[in-house]
Amino acid sequence: MALRVGVVGGGQLARMMIAPAEELGIDIRVLAEAEGMSAGLAATAVGDYRDAETVLRFARDVDVLTFDHEHVPQDVLAALVDAGVAVHPGPAPLAVAQDKLVMRARMAELGMPQPDWAAVADAAQLQDFLDAHGGRAVVKTPRGGYDGKGVRVVSAATEADDWFAALAEDARGGALLVEELVDFTRELAQQVARRPSGEVRTYPLVATTQRDGVCAEVIAPAPRASERLSRMAAEIGVAVAEGLGVTGMLAVELFETSDDRILINELAMRPHNSGHWTQDGAVTSQFEQHLRAVLDLPLGSTEAVAPWTVMINILGGPAEGGLTERFAPAMAAHPTAKIHTYGKDPRPGRKVGHVNVAGDDLDDVVYEGRAAAAFFD
């Protein structure tokens, strides 16, 4: 009988698990939020992931439950565990991914390098932090933000008044997260896979480029990364995965600073945009690896298959028409490019696909990737 994996969430990450699941003979089933989602090919149920009964009903016929996102509420996760469902990653590590204040506190407990930070409940506390950190800082909403949402660089406490007002209206109260504005030279990402039985593998450290708070490009491995830097990033990734008990894929987003340090920016406990390059640039893609990990199967090799791989996101898509008519000219002009699309309609700023190119020359693969992706603008 085939192993059965249930994925909560019908987005592109679930979609990209389908092909490796089929190759491995895994029965993959998706609980989609609505009809017509990216992972609709494998959607066996449609429903609200915030409803415990809906998720429990979906989970009855799978061997393990995993996620396309980190937003499933803790009470639903607890109900799954109480019902004997194998949930990977589990509620405890997901609680860290769901709340940036919890994440910062746990990173401090683990002794991980990170920006100076504080929980601020009002404008006075935020102003105190600004005064102590050169007059500028980054303010974040602890929950729900991604791809640049829920993040502001401020130079006055009044610039977060609307967020403090929203906190005051929320009966649960709470605080915002404020962080020092890091003087970084570039952003990096370290991916780690971990099985419930403890096996861990790390992927090459990559460099990421963000535009308007959204990942635009990834280069693997990170150019000019010293052996020391790569080793430090891998050690941080493993320490976080083991310290939090993460099972499945973990992405640790990092700042490289002007004084040669690396600091943790964000965590993602699932396949991540910074790892899409692995589909065509590594022996084992992050999507296959995630399936192996949550099923507690031996992990695959994380070695690169070429000296360089670049991933270019297709953001927004064509202003007129769809993606389909762009395939033929893009493929004809750039036969080394591997094009991945998500079954989404074009919309400004939306991630609708990506292009991977692997090869021996960094300049060549970057050019080919950008040029191929440009066909979908």
Residue 322 has pLDDT above 90, yes or no: no
Query: Nearest 5°: phi and psi at 347?
Result: -160, 135
pLDDT tens-digit map of 260-281: 889 999 999 999 999 999 999 9
Query: Using 50, 70 and 90 to split pLDDT, how confident is the model at 171?
Result: low
* pLDDT at residue 218, rounded to an integer: 98
326-373: per-residue pLDDT in tens? 999 999 999 999 999 999 999 998 999 999 999 999 999 999 999 999
pLDDT of residue 34: 96
Given pLDDT bands bounded at 50, 70 and 90, which one contains residue 170? Answer: low
How far is it, in rounded angstroms, from Cα 15 to Cα 354? 13
Kindly report, residue by residue over 111-145, the tens digit of the pLDDT: 999 999 999 999 999 999 999 999 999 999 998 76
pLDDT band at 150 (very low <50, low <70, confident <90, very high): confident
Q: Cβ neighbours of residue 40 under 8 Å, at least 6 residues apart?
A: 10, 30, 32, 343
Sequence ranges of the domains in the chain: 4-87, 116-180, 184-374
pLDDT mean over 38-64: 97
Write down the architecture of domain 4-87 according to CATH. Answer: 3-Layer(aba) Sandwich (3.40)
% of the chain surpassing 70 pLDDT: 98
- Residue 173 pLDDT exceeds 70: no
Mean pLDDT value across the chain: 95
- pLDDT tens digits, residue range 7-17? 999 999 999 99
The reported pLDDT for the residue numbered 237 is 98
Tell me the pTM: 0.95
Which residue type is seen at 181?
A: L
Q: pLDDT tens, 189-224? A: 999 999 999 999 999 999 999 998 899 999 999 999
Could you tell me which residues are beta bridge partners of residue 254? 188, 264
Please give the CATH number for the structural domain made up of 116-180: 3.30.1490.20
What percentage of residues in the chain have a pLDDT greater than 90? 90
Neighbours of 233 (CB within 10 A): 25
Domain 184-374 classified CATH 3.40.50.720? no
Identify the band that residue 320 occupies on the pLDDT scale cut at 50, 70 and 90: confident
Q: Give pLDDT, residue 118.
A: 97
For the chain, report the end-to-end CA distance as a whole number of angstroms: 45
Strand order in the sheet with 176-180: 117-120, 176-180, 137-140, 151-154
Block residue for tokens 């990734």: 237
Q: DSSP assignment of 312-334, as one string?
A: EEEES--SSS-SHHHHHHHHHH-
Give the per-residue pLDDT at 168: 77
C-beta of residue 1 within 8 angstroms of C-beta of residue 51:
no
Is residue 222 a contact partner of residue 269, using CB atoms and an 8 Å limit? no
Residues 269/169, Cβ–Cβ less than 8 Å:
no
